[in-house]
Amino acid sequence: MTFDLRLRTLSLPLRDPFVIARASHGEGRSITTVVAELRDLADGPDGPVGIGEGYPDPYYGDTPATMAAVAPLLLEALEFRSNNARHRPVIEAIDWLRQHKDDRQRFVSTDAGAPIEGLVRGVWRELILEKDTQGNERVNRINYEIYVLQQLREKLRCKEIWVVGADRYRNPDDDLPLDFEEKRASYYQALDQPEDAQRFIASVQKHMQEELELLDKTLPKNPHVRLRDKGKKRIVLSPLSAQPEPRHLVELKAELMRRWPMTSLLDVLKETDPRVGFTELFKSLASREHLEWRLVSASLVLGQYPRMQP
């Protein structure tokens, strides 16, 4: 069995050009993406094709070449663990992929050891478990890898699975205070939450039920909401009336216009920030910041740094 892997770099034009603080492709007018096609030459030109896509981010030094070289090494470099036995099948599947990373088989026998039970569910089971010409069940390797990686992504997001030595995806137990076990009751009391998980779930369900019942009662009489029988937007919300402008804001605007009638708000901000440093109170929404603060401050004042919040 011989596989053919083709990588093609596409530069796609953007309908609405934009530029972000991090490196932008094509001066904000296009975006670069890498499309990978994997096929078995034995199947001929009309055989099935596995297709994937990746986005090389030049901000992190990514290029189409580095993506092709590094992607297969990621699973081997990371060590995954879980504090919940329910998610052990995902880790076992990752270990199986590591052990067979050099295999070129497109299909493997169900006896090859790939974890299936307790892991693969729903419609994915039909995509992963196929039958050969003799009616024997086999595992579609490509679909299996895609499913396992999707499961890994979801579990990492909620820290059901964590990465040894990581920060953002570290052991969730490390997020707790060091004396949590000794002072468990006092911490729950400070949070005003029950220690019993079933009581907590019951309270959340009760709150959701009450809110749904309130919505059901008030929706038919709500003049600002209308339900439609046709079209994509079935729920129509009426625009809310503008709130009256705060009195102090009106007075502030009037005083600014009296003192500096020909001065724009941008000029006021540029003169104010060096004196009081109000832009230092803004924090990045990203996990890391690479720009010098003087550049960030200037970008904030000029309105060119959107990924920030006070």
Phi, psi of 175 (to 5 degrees): -80, -15
Name the more confident of 157 and 103: 157
Contact yes or no for 90/161 (Cβ under 8 A): yes
Identify which has the larger pLDDT, 58 or 250. 250
Coil, strand or helix at 192: coil
Please name the fold of domain 3-74.
Answer: Enolase-like; domain 1 (3.30.390)
Locate the DSSP E strands across the chain. Answer: 3-13, 30-40, 49-54, 80-81, 107-109, 129-131, 137-140, 162-163, 225-227, 235-237, 283-284, 308-309
**Where is average pLDDT lowest: 97-101, 246-250, 263-267, 301-305?**
301-305
Residue pLDDT, tens place only, 254-290: 888 888 887 777 777 777 777 787 777 766 665 555 5
Give the Cα separation of 304 and 59 in Å (integer).
Answer: 17
Give the DSSP per-residue string, 77-141: H--EE-S-GGGHHHHHHHHHHHHTTT---SEEEGGG----TTT--THHHHHHEEE-TTS-EEEEH
Average pLDDT, the chain: 77
pLDDT at 303 over 60: no
3-state secondary structure of 261: coil
- What 8-state DSSP symbol labels residue 29? T
Q: Where are the domains of the chain?
A: 3-74, 78-175, 257-309
pLDDT band at 309 (very low <50, low <70, confident <90, very high): very low
For position 15, what pLDDT does the model report?
63
> How would residue 48 be classed by pLDDT, with cut points 50, 70 and 90?
low
pLDDT higher than threshold 80 for residue 102: no
Residue that is written with structure tokens 């729920």 in the block: 235
Distance CA 173, CA 193 (A): 18
Give the mean model confidence (pLDDT) for residues 103-115.
84
3-class secondary-structure state, position 49 = strand
pLDDT for the residue numbered 1:
39
Please give the Cα distance from 26 to 34 (Å, whole number).
Answer: 15
In this predicted model, which residue has the larger pLDDT, 152 or 41?
152
In this predicted model, what pLDDT tens digit does every residue of 216-246 receive, in sequence order? 999 888 888 888 888 888 888 888 888 888 8
Angle, vertex CA 305, rays to CA 302 and CA 309, nearest 5: 110
Measured distance CA(305)–CA(310) in Å, rounded: 12
Range of weakest confidence among 59-63, 154-158, 300-304: 300-304
Phi, psi of 261 (to 5 degrees): -65, -25
Section 180-207 average pLDDT: 92
